[in-house]
Amino acid sequence: MRKRVVITGMGWVTPLGFEIEAVWRRMLAGESGIAPTTLFDARTFPTTFSAEVKGFDYLAAAGLGGKQHSAASRSTLFALGAAKQAWAMAGLAGAKLDPYMVGTYLGSGESGVDFDPFTRTGLAAWPAGANELDMKVWGTRAMNAFDALREVEQEPNMPITHLAMEFGARGPALNCLTACAASTQAIGEATEIIRYGDADIMISGGAHSMIHPFGVTGFNRLTALSTMNDNPRAACRPFDATRGGFVLGEGAGVVILESLEHAQRRGAKILAEVMGYGSSADAHAVTDQHPEGRGAIVAMKESLRDAEMGVNDIDYINAHGTGTKENDSTESFAIKQVFAARTGGPATVPISSIKSMMGHLIAAAGAVELITCVLAIRDGILPPTANYAHPDPECDLDYVPNTARKAKVDAVMSNSFGFGGQNDTLIAKRFV
């Protein structure tokens, strides 16, 4: 018999704030965290805005004084901030735990290069008229310009390294990086680790910041980002006929996953149960999704099978809903295939995308969205899809347009799809 897995703590650091209740209120009010980019001078970039985490004094706010985090990257600090909240909410501060049964599994992205030394060193080592670097010059300058610790802190396993230090977590420690699906996948696989019996508690979720010059360059070159520079708040328009790309966000979401027996034994407050997880690959193309949502359909169906639930049991879908032409129509098509057998048809499942308000947190998106789902269950209210004005015939479902909605919410599905065709779906349910 596999173990049941529940959520006992949650925390996040997002463009809408960094405290569970405040962010949730802002989301329900349809507020936006999207504004002109301030982390670097993006004024001549095709996209001049993003969804930044602002005003967060990471170390102070999270009570992280220690020297051990002094060189931590922006995404590691986001992860620590979110995990601190989740750990406290779960009532684990000061708890007596077997350290080898407390693990970490994040879907965190690597940090950008240390921009100033990186660009200066490269430019200084490029002889006039040459077509390649003078490696002797590059090497000599690089050895002086870069900082050893700042370099290693860019690695994608550093957020979990810091979490292990901070919380004394010596159990299974993993980071996966499946682009925009990463933290959903991390939570799914962390659930499997508890089900198997390898850990009692997993600190799981994701953290990422790609709001740096080369990150935005990469997405701009792919023409994946919205370029609605004159009206950033309206730029992310999931499922709207005039949608034109996603908006880059940053942040972290962390949940405390726990075996039901462990949570009950210590009298923890249970926020929701993780019921199902589905994962698949499109095996189609590095850029485009499979046009018929083949992998997305499998991920959703697998999550239902894993949860032993049917399409009538799902009360809400938190969509991947990036606001790109392709994703939103493909995702809608896939949902229609999966939910075709639902009583009343697929249009009776409310679907929304919170990326309309806080942008796309890339690797961290799925974790923040699962937390949103748990809050929807708790309060019986669905967050809206903001900026929805023009119906698209290819997206003809119920997207909870612009206004939050009261609803009976017992079970939710959360989708995440990544570049390269990785698809992951989670199902969470009110704990009974």
Partner 1 sequence: MRRVVITGVGAVSPHGLGAEAYWAAVLAGKSSTGTLTRFDPSAFAARVAGQVPAFKTQEFMPKAYRKAVRIMARDIELAVVAADFAVRDAKLATRGVLESSGEKILSDGFFKPDPTRVGCNIGAGMICADLNELTAAMVVARNDDGTLSLAKWGKSEDATKPSGMESLTPLWLLKYLPNMLACHVSIIHDTQGPSNTITCAQASAGLALAEAARTIMRGNADVALVGGCESKVHPMGLMRWTKLDRLTTEHNADPERACRPMDEQASGSVLAEGGAVLVIESLEHAQKRGAKILAEVAGMGATATGVGVRDTEPTGQAMAAAMNKALKDAHIGADAISMMVPPGFGMKATDLAEAAAIKTIFGPRPVPVVPLRGGIGDCGAGVQALDLVGGVLALRDQGIPPAVNCPRPIAGLNVPAGKMNGPVDAVLILASALGGQNSAVILKRFVA
What span, in angstroms and rounded, lies between the C-alpha atoms of 10 and 354?
17
Catalytic residue check, 320: yes
Q: Which residue out of 176, 180, 236, 373 is catalytically annotated? A: 180
Position among 22, 93, 135, 340 found at the interface with partner 1 (CB under 8 A) = 135
- Write the CB contacts of 384 (distance below 8 Å, at least 6 apart in sequence): 28, 30, 352, 356, 400, 401, 402, 403, 404, 405
Binder among 175, 183, 259, 387 for partner 1 (CB under 8 A): 175
Provide the terminal-to-terminal Cα distance of the chain, rounded to the nearest Å.
18
Q: Is 81 in the site for partner 1 (CB under 8 A)?
A: no
Q: Does 154 bind partner 1 (CB under 8 A)?
A: yes
Which of 104, 289, 322, 332 binds partner 1 (CB under 8 A)? It is 104
Beta carbons within 10 angstroms of residue 66's beta carbon: 11
Q: Is 95 in the site for partner 1 (CB under 8 A)?
A: no
Q: Which of 169, 334, 370, 374 binds partner 1 (CB under 8 A)?
A: 169
User: Cβ 20 to partner 1, closest distance in Å?
Assistant: 26
Burial bucket for residue 341 (CB in 10 Å: 0-12, 13-18, 19+): exposed
The distance of closest approach from Cβ of residue 42 to partner 1 in the complex, given in angstroms and rounded to an integer, is: 7
Site for partner 1 contains 139 (CB under 8 A)? yes
Least distance in angstroms from the C-beta of 340 to partner 1: 19
The contacts of residue 7 (CB under 8 Å, 6+ apart) are 255, 256, 257, 258, 270, 271, 272, 273, 274, 374, 428
Is 360 among the residues known to form the active site?
yes
Report strand pairing: 351-352 vs 316-318. parallel
Residues in 271-290 that interact with partner 1 by CB under 8 A: 279-287
Cβ 313 to partner 1, closest distance in Å? 21
CB of 179 to partner 1, least distance (A): 5
Site for partner 1 in 283-342 (CB under 8 A): 283-287, 294-295, 298, 302
Residue from the set 52, 110, 273, 315 that interacts with partner 1 by CB under 8 A: 110
Contact range with partner 1 by CB under 8 A, out of 21-29, 102-110, 309-317, 404-412: 102-110
Six-digit token pair at 302? 């697998």
Residues 399, 382 contacting (CB under 8 angstroms): no
By CB under 8 A, is residue 229 in contact with partner 1?
A: no
Place of tokens 């004094």: 57
Q: Give, in order, the Cα–Cα distances in Å from 255 to each of 202, 205, 354.
A: 8, 6, 18
Q: SS in 3 state form for 358-373?
A: HCECHHHHHHHHHHHH
Query: Min. distance of Cβ 172 from partner 1 in angstroms?
Result: 4
Nearest residue (CB) to partner 1, 127 versus 391: 127
Separation of alpha carbons 162 and 154, rounded Å: 12
- Please name the residue that has the structure tokens 């959360």: 414
418 binds partner 1 (CB under 8 A): yes
Among 16, 92, 160, 311, binds partner 1 (CB under 8 A): 160
Let me know: does 326 contact 288? Beta carbons within 8 Å.
yes
- The residues that bridge with 202 in the sheet, in sequence order, are 103, 257
Measured from the CB atom, is 156 or 323 closer to partner 1?
156
Does the protein bind partner 1 through residue 196 (CB under 8 A)? yes
Q: Is 396 in the site for partner 1 (CB under 8 A)?
A: no
> Is position 262 annotated as part of the catalytic site?
no
Count of residues engaged in binding partner 1, rule: CB under 8 A: 94
164 binds partner 1 (CB under 8 A): yes
Distance CA 309, CA 299 (A): 14
Q: Rounded to whole angstroms, how far apart are CA atoms 12 and 268?
A: 20
Q: Which is nearer to partner 1, 45 or 49 (CB)?
A: 45
Instruction: Decide whether 121 or 372 has the Cβ nearer to partner 1.
Output: 121
Of 212, 262, 290, 320, catalytic = 320
Does 161 bind partner 1 (CB under 8 A)? Our answer is: yes
Shortest Cβ distance from residue 119 to partner 1 (Å)? 4
Q: Retrieve residue 207's tokens.
A: 């953290």
